[in-house]
Amino acid sequence: MMKTLLLGLSDTLARALSACLRPARSLIPVLCRLWRLALLRSAVEGRVPVTTQFDGPIRIAGRPKITLGQHCRLGREVFFESGGQGRIVLDNNVRLNAGVVVVAHAEVKIESDVLVGEYVSIRDADHAIQPDQLIRFQDHVANPVSIGRGAWIGRGAAILKGVHIGAGAVIGANSVVTSDIPENAIAVGVPARVLRYRDGSLPSP
């Protein structure tokens, strides 16, 4: 009888304690987001709005120059770096999924509503490769990268220096983009080539 009473009491206390802690548990994601927001703001030069969302920790090198628009979402282990006067600009509602790498020595600009899949690399510079010096001692050769509004970059793609990807374009997974891609084109391969357009039309021969 006493054991049954104690078990019932313990169960009642456990439910009461759980009910008390429920509001605190709901605050944990909010506090984590605010903490990551504060860390990113303190670590970069530029603007990081309070509407920025985080799926996990962000990695940076140095003190990159970054400007984010409203309601951007950054996946776990997204990596940012800028060198020299390079800067990274994300417009509104940009989604960078887990493991995306963005490095700017000139400018990387990603316009509004762009989706970037996991482990995509976006870099606007290469090392110089003059033959009379070790590559690791040579400066970067930079040329800006831009990705137009509403484009979708598939998982594992690499976007190289000097490339413009047009609005609404789709880049297939694991593609390597070495030249401009037109608006609404679907491009795949290494190097990426236009397969067709989103309206079903084919590229000119």
**Catalytic center residues:** 127
Task: Decide if 157 contacts 173 (C-beta within 8 A).
Answer: yes
Task: Kindly report each contact of residues 47-53 with a partner whose C-beta sits within 8 Å and lies 24 or more positions away, as own/partner.
Answer: none
- Position 71, amino acid: H
C-alpha closest to that of 186 among 122, 177, 163: 177
132: Cβ contacts below 8 Å, ≥ 6 apart: none
- Tokens 């510079």 belong to which residue? 125
